[in-house]
Amino acid sequence: MLRIAAVMLSAFFFLSSNGLSSAIAAPSYVGPEKCQNCHKAPYEVWKGTKHFSSYKKIHKHKTAKKILKAVGEKRMKKAAVCAPCHYTVVEKKGKPKPVAGTSCESCHGPASEWISIHNNKKVDKATRVKQSVEAGMVRPDNLYDIASNCMSCHGLENSKLSGKHASAMLANGHPLNPNFEMVEYSQGSVRHRFYPPDVTTNKKMTKPELSRLYVIGQAAALVSANRAISKTDDSKFVTAQKVRIDKAKTVLAKIPDAAKFLSNPSREGGQALADAIKTKDLSSLVGDQLPTSYK
């Protein structure tokens, strides 16, 4: 969420420094259908996930109705409290309209300002990557930010969710799984790794890659839980965040490269840690903790 605020700010400065006084171009969602034509394989993978199937089902869930009542809402698809995590909301005729469940842009960033930049082959790759990131794109090689997005939803940390609502949700059966862990949750149904040269194969991660992702995921969990914990003093919520914090600290304490990050956990520190371990094999340190089955 922080990064989105930063993107909004930079869009604002860009426009104002050009002397334009028209609408500020804050990034917005375009919806997964816009990605489909060029990214068939990831799209098909996504269609097999709960992120996709949830859209048609979750509002009918008994628990959903109970939770909605507790936060003073009637319809889940219309409830601003639920939208940031459960729906991809695009603007249609000036009105917000949910068009899908959690989708491409939930993880890769709202695309209105980067969709036509990120694939523009007339611009050299480095420039294009830089521009798309500045416009709010979360790229696959930036696993820390991707993990951080997962955590903001799965750790009930999203800054748009108030402490009062989080507490009411938990009291009425909303899940908060403190054991959400990147490797277990990203290498099953969610995995799409159709990288060149063979773009028809959804590649599995090697053990060193899994080990790095495990560590990066714990770093993102620690920053997320630290940020979430002051949202409310609700005991269920605080207990779950403490479990996340303790687990992450235990794992990271065994990683020499994580010492600096642990002394002051932050997004920048998490990025630096990801960078420091980029080519390292940490499987002798965390290999025995890797999950053996995936969601």
* Residues making contact with ligand HEC (CB under 6 A): 30, 32, 34-35, 37-39, 42-43, 46, 50-51, 54, 58, 61, 63-64, 67-68, 71, 73, 76, 79, 81-82, 84-86, 102-108, 111, 115, 118-119, 125, 139-140, 146, 149-150, 153-154, 156, 158, 161, 169, 174-175, 177, 185-186, 189-190, 192-195, 295
Closest separation in Å from C-beta 83 to ligand HEC: 8
Q: Are 99 and 90 in contact (CB under 8 A)?
A: yes
Nearest to 281 by CA among 211, 217, 221, 233: 211
Q: Which is nearer to ligand HEC, 95 or 125 (CB)?
A: 125
Closest separation in Å from C-beta 215 to ligand HEC: 14
Closest separation in Å from C-beta 132 to ligand HEC: 8
Q: How far apart are CA 191 and CA 195, in angstroms?
A: 12
Q: Which is nearer to ligand HEC, 139 or 280 (CB)?
A: 139
Q: Which is nearer to ligand HEC, 47 or 260 (CB)?
A: 47
Closest separation in Å from C-beta 248 to ligand HEC: 16
Closest separation in Å from C-beta 21 to ligand HEC: 28
Q: Which is nearer to ligand HEC, 7 or 107 (CB)?
A: 107
Q: Which is nearer to ligand HEC, 198 or 288 (CB)?
A: 198
Closest separation in Å from C-beta 39 to ligand HEC: 4
Tokens encoding 185: 């949750």
Q: Which is nearer to ligand HEC, 86 or 251 (CB)?
A: 86
Tokens encoding 106: 């939930």
